[in-house]
Amino acid sequence: ACTAPNMAEWMSSQLDQRLRCAAQLYVAWEQAPLASNQIELSKTGVDHAGVPRIELHWKKSPLERRTVLEGLRLFGTTMAQKNLGRVRIDDWISNGGDYPTNEETAGHHHMGGTRMGTDVSKSVVDANCKVHGMDNLYVGGSSVFCTSGQCNPTTTITALACRLGEHLGKVIAV
């Protein structure tokens, strides 16, 4: 947020610094689940032990950019109406440029590769994290999430692992 975004940019360029007048806004958003976003084993590449390498097929959709842009526009309008400052939206957001690859959009958590659900055609594991059609294969982790949200997944992963542990304790009953 800056009361004079253009002046702040000019001053930053004169100082050869990447400065923002008063504050830099960071946004976090949920990425829409897309069927084309997949994690799979490579058909050709293997590691030193002969295990297939992971291939990540991942793109952001136009919905993510619209979500960020609309949120920033609403925030900017509120800031201006209350005369608290002005918001300048980076070009990569407003002009449809490439997403930055630096810390500005860090925090990617690839989840949902083995989604939980009841429909075997749209999911990999059931509510107990058991792989559909397998008697003794369970998956614990964020890959079973149907969607990721925008927060770090650690607490939910831990709760899910505890729940799976309790379930396996009953099923295995040693």
Let me know whether 155 and 169 are in one domain: yes
Residue 42 lies in a domain: no
**3-class state of residue 165 by DSSP:** helix
Report d(CA 128, CA 117) in Å as an integer: 10
Beta bridge partners of 54: 41
pLDDT of residue 160: 95
User: Are both 141 and 66 inside the same structural domain?
Assistant: no
**Domain span at residue 173?**
109-174
How does pLDDT run across 47-74, given as a tens digit for each residue?
999 999 999 888 888 898 899 899 999 9
- Is residue 168, in this structure, part of any structural domain at all? yes
**Do 100 and 113 have their domain in common?**
no
24 & 78 share domain: yes
pLDDT digits (tens, 9 = 90+) for 122-132: 999 999 999 99
152 and 100 in a single domain? The answer is: no
Number of domains in the chain: 2
Predicted model pTM: 0.65
Token output for 24 = 């830099």
**The tokens of 19 are what?**
């400065």
What's the CA gap between 90 and 165, in Å, rounded? 46
Alpha helices in 25-61 (DSSP H): none
pLDDT over 70 percentage in the chain? 84
Co-location of 68 and 120 in the same domain: no
φ, ψ at 168 (rounded to 5°): -65, -35
One domain for residues 118 and 145: yes
36 has pLDDT over 80: yes
